Amino acid sequence: MGRLDNKVAIITGAAKGIGLACAERFVKEGARVVGTDVDEPTGRQNIAKLGDNAIFIRHDVSKEAEWQKVFAEAEKRFGKVDILVNNAGILEFNNAEEVDGDSWHKILSVDLDGVMWGVKSAIPAMKQHGGSIVNISSIAGLIGISNLYAYNAAKGGVRMLTKSAALYCAEKGYPIRVNSVHPGYIHTPMVDKYPEMRQSLEALHPVGRLGEPNEVTNLALYLASDESSFSTGSEFVVDGGYTAQ
């Protein structure tokens, strides 16, 4: 028996990194998975390796209409949706004095708007039979980082959006749980874009290293499964001690 038997999951940003690790693990635990990403070649190639229980859809999370397409296709292919992992995200360094409007809106459109549209789309799809929404935020949603101005704003917004949605679902009597996950710096392509920062980023974590995608996946799996049935509106940190300092 798998921990996600008979469940259907949509995972955004699934072409690589944390999203791909979630897709791989969820399929192993019995789920059928719809992996989405804007990186279509990589996404199709990697999701195809997971077999008949996984499909790939190209998907820009910042556009509401594309969310409707993804949910419609998931329900057509697999009959329902039980789990949404809002993982898609982008990262740029900027600060409060030098940030420009293009950079600000680019980050928020994917990292915050994308999560908002995902939650909005998932609730009507899940409210009859129940489900779990897992929003991948960041330690930047818990603490300030001076050179991550827009990213801080987006990930902090994801944290509070999660709590609001969780309370709304509970008040409505919908059997939907909504939680956020807050990773530290994880060894993914997004972080690997900055090899010159690797040593300094590792030093920020008391355990002395970056996290691995599977270490975030373990937490996402718990929240996606029925094992976390009494958890909603909560934030779960996986950061090697970063925010304990």
CB 33 within 8 A of CB 229: no
**Residue in the structure block whose two tokens are 């600000």:** 104
Q: Which residues contact 22 (CB under 8 A, 6 or more apart)?
A: 9, 11, 14, 85, 87, 216, 217, 220, 221
Catalytically annotated residue among 151, 185, 222, 242: 151
How far lies 141's CA from each of 3, 32, 75, in Å? Answer: 28, 30, 32
- Angle (nearest 5°) at CA 70 between 46 and 156: 85
Q: What is the DSSP string of 144-212?
A: --TTBHHHHHHHHHHHHHHHHHHHHHHHHT--EEEEEEEE-SBSSHHHHT-GGGHHHHHHTSTTSS-B-
CA distance 63 to 198: 33
Q: Does the active-site annotation cover 149? A: no
Which residues form the catalytic set?
A: 151
